[in-house]
Structure 1
Amino acid sequence: MPTKKDIGKAYLNYYTHEDENIQKPKKRGGVVRRLKRAFSVARNKGYLALKYGAVNGASSLTKLAGLYAYLQPILKSTLDFDAMYLRIRSGAKLLEIGCGSGRQLEIFRKLGWQAEGLDLDPKAVEIASARGLTIHFGSLEEQHFLGRSFDAVVSSHVIEHVHDPVGLLRECGRILKLDGKLVIITPNTSSWGHMWFRSHWLALDPPRHLHLFNSISLRRAAEEAGLKVLRLTSTVRDADGLFRASRDIQRTKRHVWGIRHSLGLRRWSRALQWAEWLLLQVGLDRGEELMMICGPNDENIRHCSR
């Protein structure tokens, strides 16, 4: 395992160094393409308004379009991730740990959160700050945030990168308000993809991933940190991309981010994603990601107040 002193060398060319906010030329297309794009935007906004209370001024017609997303479970998994599975509280304080270049943080802000970000990578912090976002540089412990100061703390694919995951969860619990929520997303070692690709599974990602979890070990880490697990499940979000990347590693020993795969391979990976979704419907914990929602432990709160 890399030491804390050396781990930064593994991130010199990490994907969070890309500024995703750079405007790319848009395909103008015809009337049909524009109508499809307009419907997709309305559908997504409507779903987020219906399920999570997004304060984006969604009209009744937009919400009607949002009902269509409930019929698309793969799309639904992506939209749930955009909201980070949290009911939106307009103006409430949210901290994203490991915000990278700030793409997700901008989504939180548009949804209505008073969102701040935190990252250890100076290049990523530079890119995110250039977007006008509130960004803190360094580890969570180094910020010395006041206790009970955030309504929500979220962290996507970060806990597997840290040397002390229980310590990170404990500090998250300290800064969380008594009615606040902590959301953790991380790869699932019990996933179908890991069983299928074994040592070629993309989410192993050595040497950056220091600790990997299944639902049992992630729950145990949260409980050791003094948190109460409110929900713990696995999802198929972006599983098709992970399947394609893992196949690249299996065949060529490497994966190039952003590569355009063939139509046949994209259809194959999407079929696997649907098969994995079916496994979840029969109660098998085989999704590629774990999603855990925690809150402060009531017993710990009562003990501290005595």
Structure 2
Amino acid sequence: MKRFLKTKDFSVSGEEFELLLDTELNMLRTHPEPRDLENYYNSEAYISHTDSSKTLVEKLYQYIKRRNLRKKVRLINKYTTSDKTLLDIGAGTGSFLESAKYNGWETFGIEPNKMARDLAINKSLDLKANIDLLEKKSFQVITLWHVLEHLPNLDLQINKIVSLLNEDGALILAVPNFQSYDAKYYREYWAAYDVPRHLSHFSQLSIKKLFTQNGMRIVETRPMIFDSFYVSLLSEKYKHGKGNFLKAFLVGLKSNISAWRTKEYSSLLYILKKG
């Protein structure tokens, strides 16, 4: 693997990392991979593990999250049968599972971060710290919302996840796309690299190859339009020390316009099934 880019952890530690290109998969890997990854999540700056809405970025994040919750529930309802069992991996503070439970789903969740699990208790959710602590069962729908990029031992983890899916079930995952316009524009400042919490950085080809070798096929790919605006706002902050809302909006808009032709959106949602 060769060096693709050098970047740093802008949100917690300030440490520098390399992104190495796996040419066979067209995928980037964060190097070095820290042994104590948990320390890079134990910060109030890491807002996906909080329900805070104090700053402008947090308010925007929470607004987009609320809007997306309704869309997520509508999506999983498309893939339900009489079996409405849902496993959310990387459940954060449990907001999605709470919404799904309200809509009649039997919910299960995995969240390694203790701070996030403790917040989920307030929503009457019992999240497990890792996949091996789940009771022995399979699920009709398994979701990973911007989680796959966080997983160590990726091949092993994918194999475990696929083994938990019903034969006619759906695996739904959302990941950033390093081939998007905003990724190329911001380069080392692109917020969705989020090293070292993001260990892998995917293209459409890498998702196809990784899951095909595990017996899965992509049945649908959807753009995540709002991600380019949010990521651009964070990227502006990392690059210039403050968030330029207008500039971020224009870059996010240009990214989506470019992706209308190339299909390389800032983030992509994949629905996969077995076979």
The reply to whether TM is greater than 0.5 is yes
Going from structure 1 to structure 2, the CA distance change for 1:91 and 1:131 (only over 3 Å counts) comes to: farther
Deviation, structure 1 residue 216: 0.5
CA contact (8 A) 1:115 1:134 kept: no
Going from structure 1 to structure 2, the CA distance change for 1:117 and 1:187 (only over 3 Å counts) comes to: same
Question: Superposition RMSD on alpha carbons, in Å?
Answer: 2.8
Going from structure 1 to structure 2, the CA distance change for 1:136 and 1:144 (only over 3 Å counts) comes to: closer
Aligned partner of 1:30 in structure 2 is none
CA contact (8 A) 1:84 1:154 kept: no
Aligned partner of 2:186 in structure 1 is 197
Q: Which residue of 108, 118, 121 maps to 2:113? A: 121
C-alpha separation between the residues in 2 aligned to 1:144 and 1:153? 13
Larger helix percent: 1
Going from structure 1 to structure 2, the CA distance change for 1:180 and 1:272 (only over 3 Å counts) comes to: same
Deviation, structure 1 residue 234: 3.6
C-alpha separation between the residues in 1 aligned to 2:187 and 2:53? 35
Deviation, structure 1 residue 2: 5.5
Q: Which residue of 288, 296, 301 maps to 2:266? A: 288
Task: Give the aligned residue type for 1:274.
Answer: L
C-alpha separation between the residues in 2 aligned to 1:84 and 1:2? 39
Deviation, structure 1 residue 272: 3.5
Aligned partner of 2:166 in structure 1 is 177
Aligned partner of 1:59 in structure 2 is none
1:98 aligned onto 2:90: yes
CA contact (8 A) 1:88 1:111 kept: no
Deviation, structure 1 residue 9: 1.2
User: What secondary structure does 2:142 align onto?
Assistant: strand
Q: Which residue of 36, 42, 53 maps to 1:6? A: 36
Q: Which residue of 40, 50, 58 maps to 1:18? A: 50
Normalised by the length of structure 2, the TM-score is 0.74
5+ residue gaps, structure 1, are: 23-73, 256-260, 298-306
C-alpha separation between the residues in 1 aligned to 2:127 and 2:69? 24
Going from structure 1 to structure 2, the CA distance change for 1:144 and 1:91 (only over 3 Å counts) comes to: closer
- Between Structure 1 and Structure 2, whose CA radius of gyration is higher? 1
More relative contact order in 1 or in 2 (CA 8 Å, sep 6+)?
2
C-alpha separation between the residues in 2 aligned to 1:234 and 1:214? 13
Deviation, structure 1 residue 233: 4.2
CA contact (8 A) 2:33 2:199 kept: no
User: What secondary structure does 1:83 align onto?
Assistant: helix
Q: How many residues align?
A: 231
CA contact (8 A) 1:187 1:212 kept: yes
Aligned partner of 1:143 in structure 2 is 133
Deviations 1:166-217 (A, max 9, x none): 2222212111111100011111011111011011100111111111101001
User: What secondary structure does 1:85 align onto?
Assistant: helix
1:158 aligned onto 2:147: yes
C-alpha separation between the residues in 2 aligned to 1:130 and 1:80? 20
C-alpha separation between the residues in 2 aligned to 1:158 and 1:109? 20
Going from structure 1 to structure 2, the CA distance change for 1:3 and 1:206 (only over 3 Å counts) comes to: closer
Going from structure 1 to structure 2, the CA distance change for 1:268 and 1:110 (only over 3 Å counts) comes to: farther
Q: Percent identity?
A: 22
Going from structure 1 to structure 2, the CA distance change for 1:126 and 1:91 (only over 3 Å counts) comes to: farther
User: What secondary structure does 1:134 align onto?
Assistant: coil
CA contact (8 A) 2:79 2:141 kept: no
Deviation, structure 1 residue 155: 0.4
Deviation, structure 1 residue 136: 1.6
Task: Give the aligned residue type for 1:266.
Answer: F
Q: Which residue of 195, 202, 216 maps to 1:206? A: 195
Normalised by the length of structure 1, the TM-score is 0.67
Going from structure 1 to structure 2, the CA distance change for 1:225 and 1:130 (only over 3 Å counts) comes to: same
Task: Give the aligned residue type for 1:195.
Answer: K
CA contact (8 A) 1:227 1:294 kept: yes
Going from structure 1 to structure 2, the CA distance change for 1:241 and 1:184 (only over 3 Å counts) comes to: same
C-alpha separation between the residues in 1 aligned to 2:50 and 2:73? 22
C-alpha separation between the residues in 2 aligned to 1:80 and 1:236? 15
Deviation, structure 1 residue 223: 1.3
CA contact (8 A) 1:78 1:238 kept: no
